[in-house]
Structure 1
Amino acid sequence: MRPDPIALSRGQRLALTAASFLLIAVATMALGPLISGSGWWWMCAFVAAGTLFGGAGLRSIRTPASLVPVLELVILVFLLTLLFGGATSIALIVPSNATFTEFGELLGGAERTIQQQSVPAIPVPALSFALALGVGLLAVCIDILVQTVRMPALAAAPALVPILIPGFIIEAGAEAPTLVLAAAAYLLMLRVDVRVRRRARIATGDEGDDAATVISPARVPIASTLGATLGLAGTGLVVAAVLAAATPSISTSLLLGTGSPGSIFGRGVSPFIDLGRDLRRPDPRPAFHYFSPDGERPYFTLLTLDRFEGAAWGVTEAQIDGDNTVDAMPEPDGLSSEVATEEHPIDVTIDQVRTTWLPVPYPTTRVDGLRGSWFWEDGSLTVRGVDADTSGQQYQASWLEIDPTPSQLRNADRRLPDELAPFLALPDDLPQVISDTAVQVVGSAATPYDAAVAIQAFLRSPDFEYSTEAPVDEGYDGGGFDVIAQFLETRAGYCVHFASTMAVMARESGIPARISVGYTQGSPSQERVGGVQRIEVDSHDLHAWPELYFEGVGWVPFEPTPGRGLVPDYSRPGAGQSGNEPVPQSGSAAPSASGRAAVDPGGGLGGTSGGLSATDSWWLRGGVVALLVAAVLLAPAALRAGQRASRYRRIMRGERPADAAWAELTSTARDLGVDVGIVDTPRAVASRVADREAFADADAEAALIALRDAVEHERYGPSGRPVAADLDLIGQLAVARDALAADERMVDRLRAVLVPRSLVDRAQSAFGERQSAGA
């Protein structure tokens, strides 16, 4: 990196640093619609301030310019260690090997939370770390452009990164006020740079023989460039308004998908659960194992399906509440103190299943020992991770065993709260066979409880067969209404069909219903730890079952699938009636191999990982963002290439060809860092360039002199006097440009292509600064 030829004072450097900090702080505000709260912004502002002003401090002690960005990265690492290193750090800010391991885990968690959360996302530690790291790196980039290579106009590229991100995630894109503020901050930074440079030039004074003839006044009048600044400010505000209006079109383009809210912060789970493929796989895989000191063996719920997406069951899209931490979970909805309950501890170790939904008994009251950020969802009390999955987790849960009596269920209040209305919803075009069957089965049931027992008994009767093959052979595999209708005709299916049918028939009978997906109780092993038997749960225990709501008791599970799981005592026909008490049944049923579920090699439900159905859209959208950022960074090179092509066309057309060739030569010289002023005469420029080593070659020197003479003849000679042939000008220009590049290092040539100085000079001149060698 070449040092800036104009030395700046500490105060001037500090002014540029403050302007750079304001730009990155305002640009980061664009992420506000994506992330809840404001604490994350203050954290990012702290990291940006520490990095930028740390760099200013380094420059104040005359640290070499090329070393400052490297040391700024070191400062960034120290700040990240202070905020996220915790016990792994040395003296709070010095990272250790364990700190970098922790950083790697946080980055992995950030990727998962981006896939799994909806907007506005909760700023969990992993997401906060990614934000702090990203803002810190952007701050270093801006500082390099503004302070080191002295090209502040290009600072717009890193500042645009946080501004453009909302357009890929939410329909509205970045907020218009933020865009206006960011444009104003950018213009302010450019204005500060102009004022700082001008004062530095005035303080430098004359530069010998190369000094400009006209020297700027010792006092810089503000009004001298106020008009240009206001004009550019107005243009910037108009551009910001247009960008605000255009941003939604980005998120709805065909390239980026449907543009639905939260498409990057997605739930990471498919709401339509198709277990058929898993049920037909014969080889079980370990899912998890647990120890239950009280000897209880509950079902484990992963997620709850409670609404219809078209004709299929789905999960209600609900925003995670950051206060719903799993260290304290509420009592289940609808449970009264009159129902007998007993709390049980359970220790769970995940073996191979990998999902963002945690297998826990319903209802769970507390979970401890989890890695990452996990939250419970209202109503279902299912537990979902936002920056971690179940892989390798070991945790302790306390769950509540609810033991209602048939009498309590039978006497439940039939007046239901309004919030239960969605659990009764059915489409208008429900197949008639479902309604007719529900009426036939429920008949004259005296209470909703009796109707539920009748539906379960109907589905568990010998008329129905458990089969994973029949739905495929007959073409009705799945869980939609047409599938249920066909299932009621064929009367063969697996757990999804039985659970879906009972839930729909219950709603048809006026009973709120939903479906839980998870695992049955598992099978005891021979291993004991501390006298407690180890229970193994594998992929064959994967299951779906309906839950029905009774006021005063809450959500009650039923088991309509024959040969699977355990039929609750309260749901047996005749339960609670004199002389018909149910016989308690312990353990789980032992279904045949064809009646068991399996997970795929990825360890997730239905062949997915990181959730029940993973999405590849994050990678597509992330790639599009990367391409867009690359396009912004390459824009100066593209503009410079377009300018060069335009000048060559002028030469070919004979439109002041010598002037076009000379303009291209001087622009190439400025791009390569040659001290050539915009207002220097061709003879002065040629004299300065001819001193370079490469122009000792006779051909290079002759080409330079020919170009100089041609432009002088064209500018100052008699009108109509012929100049050199166009083709000669192109050849001479090529020789001269090659000679200019020959004296530069490869890195300087690359910088000249990617960050052309001639374009920056033009932008700075628009703000009122006239570039010359001596002014």
Structure 2
Amino acid sequence: MSTVLRPPVSPAAPEGSPSGRQRATEAVGGGRSGRPASGRSRASAARRRERSGAWTTTLAVGLTMGFALFSLSPLLQGIGWWFATMAMVVVLLGVSALLRARGLPEVVVVGVAVLLWVAIVVLLYAPGTTWLVLPTLDTITDISADLAAARESIAVQEVPAVAVPELTQLLVMSIGLIALVSDELATGLRVPALSGTGPLAVLTIAPLVRRDDPQVLVYLLTGLAFLLVLWTGARIGSGGRAKPTTRIRATAGGRNAGLALGLAAAAVAAMVVLPTVTPGLTSRDLAEQGDGTPFASTYATGVDPTIQLGRDLRRSDPVLSLTYSTSSEEGLYLKMVNLSDFSGGTWEPEAPYDGISYEGQEFGTPPGLAPEVPVTDVSTTVSIAGLRSDWLPLPYPSQQVDSLSGNWLITPNTFTITDLQGDTRGINYQATSLAVAPTAEQLATAGATVPDSLAGYLGLPPDLPPVIAQEASTITAGAATNYDRAVALQEYFRSGEFRYSLAAPASNGYDGSNAEMIAAFLDKKEGYCVHFSAAMAVMARTLGIPSRIAVGYAPGQTADSTADGQPVYEVYTDQLHAWPELYFEGIGWLPFEPTPGLDITPPDYSLPDYAQQSATDSSAPAPSSTSTATNSAGPDRGDVAAVQSAEQQVLAQVRGWSIFAGVLALIALVVLAPFAARRFVRRGRIRRLATDPQPGTLAWLELEDTLDDHRLQRSHGDTLSDVERRLTAENMVPVDALGRLRVAAEFEQYAPPGSASDETRARIGRDLLAVISGLDAQAQPRDRALARYLPVSLWRRRRAAASTGTLVP
């Protein structure tokens, strides 16, 4: 049975005193003679009060992003990229803080900030592509091209990379958006703890790439700045102090500053301390895992052709990369990618972005191979175990690959295949290739003409150390042909003057393959496969012989098993290898083996006495090489070469972690969507208390939904008084606050709409928060979690009955 509500009878106003309507007008308008304030101005004033102090949180977010951005300094040269990126962050966050201080709605603040981000990006990076001031398709095309160039720069540069304009643009755009999202989480949605996900994502990049010791100072500064975000975020709208408004203290998340301080300090300590004391989390452990464990090594996410190669070679526990069976009489080199561009003084991989879609068709005739050169078809079945790489290991020159699913690209003229996914584990495929067997006469008469399409394979940097060309000229002084010069270069490195060593390049500072490192290697005469292959390839170019570095796997060793009557070869991580390939017109690309000390026999055609054979001898063996490597660990088993530069590793790892983060984000979205929706509804109602014609009824509606969320059963016939009696009888909420809410809701059933003063509206808001806090405080943890993350009020809404004192479904 409903209770009929009657408005309270006010005592007669003394003669000469203002009437109730006048007092209401003065309360709203600020005085007798003042004009009544509009609902918009009241809402703006309410938002300003609600956001008081928000600018300090925005400042703290900016500081957190700035310190986190310093974690990228080991990956990038210089500091200009940091200032450019932070300029974008400062502008975006500054404008957002200004708009909030003016009392604009949060949706307007976010919209203006995003539009400002777009405007800055267009103005800086595509200024000539707009129509009047509006972006066009050309704008999108230009910016997309810049981002593609940034991706390619990441793929080919060594660490620390040069912060080319495209890389800086990528940072400016991405970090600017991350800062906007973090600021909105901290100040707009009032969940400052979640705002740390953006800086955390930035902090994770460098450790995933370099595996170095933690940057303790950067972590500490970022952690302290994040503490400031939590501290200030809990005090937005409270004038700098968090005071309980009722005798029951609020315990809503984000308001307990001491707890936030403790949790944040513990998180910072964990970041700094745990990696140094926990087994499996140290940088050394990360570098030595590669067997599919959660802490994979550099190798497990792709190998590096230069500086990371020594780390892969020094692995103490090699693991199985792949197995293969072949119709060839000998084991095969399995190539993944070519390093062909040396014009900048550093060997860089060919760009896979120039590839075309591979759909199982034949590759075609290998470049330079004349029809009269003897070839034999070879079939090979490959099963990849632990290799993660963008490129597919294949014998060269392959003709066709079967049983290969997915979107693969083939690079023309080099016959390499990639899908840019960074993970080839578990792939099985069959490759048909050619065993090229040139005769001694064909090698001796091979043309020295370089086609225009191969001119890039002669490229050298303008500042190439003179010692490299001088040494090459001295070594090949008695050679008559390009082939003879190539054989002389290989014999020079295998003659005994040079020694295979993993330690010497690292300890003497020339562990790499750029021009300066090659010159140092020729002086020290100690190194591993990258040094030998890079030196021979550069020397060949100084002699006019096109060259490139092939990276992949040495032949491996025979296992005690067969497949379809063919021997099975096992290839381990320490048999990754680099070798030079030289081009001879009429024959094409031929591999050489200048690296000594690996128990790998060079191809027969590359040996000095092969040229002495009869020109009519057509039984020359195929150019495959024999491996007599054993199963013992260490450098004698083989050599590790590389596929990806350090920045390609960045790309592969960021891609993998992005997928992982995306899955987590999707899960979080599903789990937190009801929480966020319910919080959005509540905050919207609290804001509307400043302008709604019936703030008391609106507050009671929010209370009813909160009771539903806490699963507090009530009868459809319960009046507001019934609900009040039950809650106060069970000591669930502050009695005075609940009573005032009930009176305000009942009063509005008969009072003229909009008659509530600003003071009344503010008191209703305080009472509502006090009652909600009381409900949260007395609830059991499980019930409180259900109320927050599975709010049933989103599906069972209530409405205010206009003519009764009840709120009915």
Q: Within 1, Cα distance between the matches of 2:771 and 2:721? A: 14
Shift in Å at residue 488 of structure 1?
0.2
> Structure 2 vs 1, CA of residues 641 and 427 (structure 1 numbering), >3 Å: closer, same or farther?
farther
- Residue-by-residue CA offset, 1:314-341 (whole Å, 9 max, x unaligned): 3223237564134533222222212221
In the other structure, the counterpart of 2:552 is 518
Matches within 5 A, 1:201-280: 250=177, 269=302, 272-273=305-306, 274-280=308-314
Give 2:744's match in structure 1, choosing from 707, 719, 722.
Answer: 707
Paired letter, 1:707: A
> Structure 2 vs 1, CA of residues 551 and 736 (structure 1 numbering), >3 Å: closer, same or farther?
closer
Matches within 5 A, 1:321-332: 323-326=357-360, 328-332=362-366
Matched residue SS, 2:653? coil
* Residue pair 1:268, 1:614 contacting (<8 A) in 2 also: yes
> Structure 2 vs 1, CA of residues 599 and 634 (structure 1 numbering), >3 Å: closer, same or farther?
farther
| More moved, 459-468 vs 323-332 | 323-332
Give 1:361's match in structure 2, choosing from 395, 411, 420.
Answer: 395
* Residue pair 1:367, 1:397 contacting (<8 A) in 2 also: yes
Q: Within 2, Cα distance between the matches of 1:397 and 1:464? A: 36
Q: Within 1, Cα distance between the matches of 2:756 and 2:329? A: 106
Q: Within 2, Cα distance between the matches of 1:657 and 1:349? A: 69
In the other structure, the counterpart of 1:291 is 325
Q: Does 1:479 align with 2:513?
A: yes
In the other structure, the counterpart of 2:254 is none
Shift in Å at residue 547 of structure 1?
0.5
Paired letter, 1:272: P
Q: Does 1:615 align with 2:653?
A: yes
In the other structure, the counterpart of 2:603 is 568
> Structure 2 vs 1, CA of residues 719 and 553 (structure 1 numbering), >3 Å: closer, same or farther?
closer
In the other structure, the counterpart of 2:719 is 690
Give 2:491's match in structure 1, choosing from 457, 462, 471.
Answer: 457
Matches within 5 A, 1:392-407: 392-407=426-441
In the other structure, the counterpart of 1:6 is none
Paired letter, 1:568: P
Shift in Å at residue 465 of structure 1?
1.6
* Residue pair 2:629, 2:638 contacting (<8 A) in 1 also: no
Matches within 5 A, 1:130-209: none
Q: Within 2, Cα distance between the matches of 1:524 and 1:497? A: 28
In the other structure, the counterpart of 1:106 is none
Paired letter, 2:661: G
Q: Does 1:596 align with 2:629?
A: no
Shift in Å at residue 613 of structure 1?
9.2
Paired letter, 1:455: L
Matched residue SS, 2:347? strand
Structure 2 unaligned spans of 5+ = 1-106, 108-113, 127-133, 138-171, 181-197, 209-299, 710-715, 729-734, 801-806
Matched residue SS, 2:366? coil
C-alpha RMSD of matched pairs (Å): 5.8
- Residue-by-residue CA offset, 1:29-55 (whole Å, 9 max, x unaligned): xxxxxxxxxxxxxxxxxxxxxxxxxxx
Q: Within 2, Cα distance between the matches of 1:433 and 1:646? A: 76
> Structure 2 vs 1, CA of residues 511 and 756 (structure 1 numbering), >3 Å: closer, same or farther?
farther
In the other structure, the counterpart of 1:315 is 349
Give 1:432's match in structure 2, choosing from 459, 466, 478.
Answer: 466
* Residue pair 1:669, 1:740 contacting (<8 A) in 2 also: no
Paired letter, 1:664: A
* Residue pair 2:391, 2:420 contacting (<8 A) in 1 also: no
In the other structure, the counterpart of 2:417 is 383
* Residue pair 2:421, 2:652 contacting (<8 A) in 1 also: no
| More moved, 417-426 vs 555-564 | 417-426
Paired letter, 2:653: T
* Residue pair 1:345, 1:396 contacting (<8 A) in 2 also: yes
> Structure 2 vs 1, CA of residues 405 and 282 (structure 1 numbering), >3 Å: closer, same or farther?
farther
- Residue-by-residue CA offset, 1:240-260 (whole Å, 9 max, x unaligned): xxxxx98895389996779x9
- Residue-by-residue CA offset, 1:342-401 (whole Å, 9 max, x unaligned): 112233444554545333211111233446555533232123356695434443322101
* Residue pair 2:552, 2:577 contacting (<8 A) in 1 also: yes
Give 1:346's match in structure 2, choosing from 371, 377, 380.
Answer: 380
Paired letter, 2:305: F
> Structure 2 vs 1, CA of residues 372 and 724 (structure 1 numbering), >3 Å: closer, same or farther?
closer
Matched residue SS, 2:608? coil
Q: Within 2, Cα distance between the matches of 1:338 and 1:760? A: 90
Shift in Å at residue 557 of structure 1?
0.8
Aligned residues: 504
Matches within 5 A, 1:437-586: 437-443=471-477, 445-525=479-559, 527=561, 532-564=566-598, 565-573=600-608, 575-577=610-612
Q: Within 1, Cα distance between the matches of 2:410 and 2:638? A: 26
Q: Within 1, Cα distance between the matches of 2:429 and 2:500? A: 34
Greater relative contact order (CA < 8 Å, ≥ 6 in sequence): 2
Matched residue SS, 2:611? coil
Q: Does 1:301 align with 2:335?
A: yes
- Residue-by-residue CA offset, 1:222-276 (whole Å, 9 max, x unaligned): xxxxxxxxxxxxxxxxxxxxxxx98895389996779x9xx9xxx9645534432
Paired letter, 2:367: D
| More moved, 508-517 vs 519-528 | 519-528
